Amino acid sequence: MLETLVIALLALWALGVVTSYYMGGLIHVLLFLAIALVFLRNRRARRA
């Protein structure tokens, strides 16, 4: 489920890059969330 969320956030970020005039700072928030989720996923995978 986490992978799906990361993919969705990256897709929204890519859409935001294309329409950056309309979305403004939301692009950076989505990018940060996607990177944070990937980091958390990798961190949890190492513990298991």
10 Å Cβ neighbour count for 16? Answer: 19
Instruction: Write down the pLDDT at residue 24.
Output: 65
Instruction: Write down the pLDDT at residue 43.
Output: 87
pTM of the model: 0.51
Here the tokens at position 4 are 């799906």
Instruction: Write down the pLDDT at residue 48.
Output: 63
Give pLDDT tens digits for 1-48: 778 888 888 888 777 777 766 656 777 777 888 888 888 888 888 776
